[in-house]
Structure 1
Amino acid sequence: MSNNSFEKELVKPEEVILWVPGDLTIDSIGSGWENIAMRGYTYNYLDVNIPAMRDYMIVNYKTDNLEMKRRGSNSWMSKHVNSGTVSLLTCGEDTRWAWNDDLEVVHVYIDHETVSNMANQVFDYDIANIRIPDEVGIKDEILPVLSSLLEQELRSGGVGGNVFVESIKNQIALHLLRRYAKLEFKEGLCKTGFNQIQHKLLVDYIREHISEKINLEDLALLIGLSVPHLMRKFKVDFGTSPAAYIMALRIQLAKKLLISKKDIPIKVIAGEAGFFDQSHMNRVFHKFFRKTPAEIRQEQAQKITQIQID
């Protein structure tokens, strides 16, 4: 979807019925879902002009052997649709659709920002433009399943509903990107690392909070970047990911404390260095040193004793 599409008066999910008259069968609007919506309709045969949509729209068909036509800027596209096939309205363009019999569908709407944010998490550079061309009556093994899960949640609900919907929304966004999207990347945004002030802010913050859980969101907020942009610049500036850098500091600190403060229990040192617990610290040390913290401490004590004897 190009940025120019946002200059138009785009149709929201709840406004589709004004352009495509039908009977509403299911509706998620008002259910608390964020940046995703579901609406079901039954239609008589129609030939209608549909203005540019605000959101990406996935049409799930519940009618078999129906001829579906779409006219874009140049010519008609025609396909026979069945249960399990989908159409995509995604380009932010005015289109004309027609079908020759009664029709039942369930629409899933997912907003542009969700797809854009997912793209920035998946790819190494910020996205300048995302375009997902319109499709008519395509076979897709994933979208009907995800849509069915959303419909089931809307009809019956359950514990953790918002978390469940959020996860399905992200899976839909990722699937659209992997299978249908055409992407244009912004050039040169991450060929350099942080400026001097940003670098110092990050280093100071991490060292001051090394005993606590450090979130990427907090680091990004600290220097005014998105999380994906932070991660890409961090790799350029530090040569590794934030998680790897933080873990290396925790290992260094824990090893220093093991040697310099031999009377402090290892579980206390694990907490001061920011490990979840002593078991977590044991696993990390064994991975990096092939030794446990206790073995490293004992080995250092033996070296000191040997020096004293000599």
Structure 2
Amino acid sequence: MAKTSQVNSTLPRKSEIPIPIMSSETLGWQPLLVEEFQQPPGGIDLPEAWAGHSIALCLAPRPHRISQMVGDRRYTGLYSKGDISITPADIPASYRAEGNDHYLHVLVPAQFFQSVAQQTAELDPTRLELVTEFRVRDPQLEQILMLLKAELYKGGGGVGRLYVESLANVLAIHLLREYSSTQPRIPRHPGGLGDHQLLQVSEYIHAHLDQEIKLVDLANIVSVSQFHFSRLFKQSMGMSPHQYLVQQRVERAKQLLKTSKLAIAQIALQCGFNSQSHLGKAFREATGMTPSDYRQH
């Protein structure tokens, strides 16, 4: 589907390239670029190829006919809501829709994909190939993409970055398992994290609650890949690293609300939320009341 802006690119958009109605570009997400498009019938040639692996999820409520050319492969047929296309990096492509198009586009940098392959499956990145797919149905992949879309609309910036990094790793692993020509076996690590490892991770999180905490930083503490860290942490704690981080930030906010006279906006920043409204939303979800009500309770 239509080409989007490149990750961290400072190049201006070309006039013929449609502008997304929502984009993660301003949210500072790493490593993915996630954008949603709505556009009238038409198309575009992409002779310079993609900067990364491209995944497009059809969101259009009514089926419409699409013609695609990726390298020397051609596809023409109906796309309907839930259909997914995958275009590997560095392959010229063209696309034309005969009806009103609506889709979510995710760009996965090739370097990130190769890094996950090396760390998780010990694959040689020079031998790694992603397979071109037209109009596939994949409920698990669709769920990952819809979670990214939901996070895009939350606009949480720093609060949601750890969650997005986790989803990025899950996405890369799924692509490796299902759409890689090598079909790697992903090793599993039973048993979760040990008590000492959990303490190390917990201490790091509490020491940096007011800062941006990246998944790679947590994974490095216990010397495992980001993908395996997320799985092991959830096995041990019963929640994802992102959920645990939000929980601990809310707990810190509760303490400050009861023991300090700081303004709620200041408390939000000290707890790692990027605004008072983001603290309020997380606080209500966790406690059922607003920070102001909690302070007065």
Q: TM-score range by the shorter chain?
A: 0.5 to 0.7
Kept in 2, the 8 Å contact 1:129–1:184? The answer is no
In the TM superposition, 1:101-112 aligns within 5 A as 101-112=99-110
Identity across the alignment (%): 18
2:172 equivalent in structure 1: 173
Consecutive unaligned residues of structure 1, counting only runs of 5 or more, are: 1-9, 186-211, 221-226, 229-310
Given candidates 147, 152, 164, the residue that maps to 2:150 is 152
1:60 pairs with 2:57: yes
1:252 equivalent in structure 2: none
Kept in 2, the 8 Å contact 1:91–1:131? The answer is no
Q: TM-score, normalised by structure 2?
A: 0.55
- Structure 2 SS opposite 1:168: helix
Given candidates 12, 17, 23, the residue that maps to 2:6 is 12
When Rg is computed on C-alpha atoms for both structures, the one with the higher figure is: 1
Kept in 2, the 8 Å contact 1:27–1:38? The answer is yes
Kept in 2, the 8 Å contact 1:52–1:91? The answer is yes
- Structure 2 SS opposite 1:182: coil
Offset at 1:49? 0.7
In 2, the alpha carbon distance for the partners of 1:55 and 1:73 equals 15
In 1, the alpha carbon distance for the partners of 2:219 and 2:26 equals 32
Offset at 1:20? 5.2
Offset at 1:184? 10
1:205 equivalent in structure 2: none
Q: Which amino acid aligns with 1:174?
A: I
Q: Which amino acid aligns with 2:23?
A: D
In 2, the alpha carbon distance for the partners of 1:108 and 1:216 equals 24
Kept in 2, the 8 Å contact 1:127–1:183? The answer is no
1:37 equivalent in structure 2: 33
Kept in 1, the 8 Å contact 2:49–2:89? The answer is yes
2:181 equivalent in structure 1: 182
Consecutive unaligned residues of structure 2, counting only runs of 5 or more, are: 185-198, 201-217, 226-297
- Cα gap change, 1:20 to 1:94, in 2 (>3 Å): farther
In the TM superposition, 1:69-80 aligns within 5 A as 69-74=67-72, 76-80=74-78
Q: Which amino acid aligns with 2:102?
A: E
- 1:78-102: CA deviation from partner (whole Å, max 9, x where unpaired): 2311111111121411112111111
Q: How many equivalent residue pairs?
A: 187
In 2, the alpha carbon distance for the partners of 1:58 and 1:16 equals 22
Name whichever of 88-97 and 52-61 sits farther off: 88-97
2:281 equivalent in structure 1: none
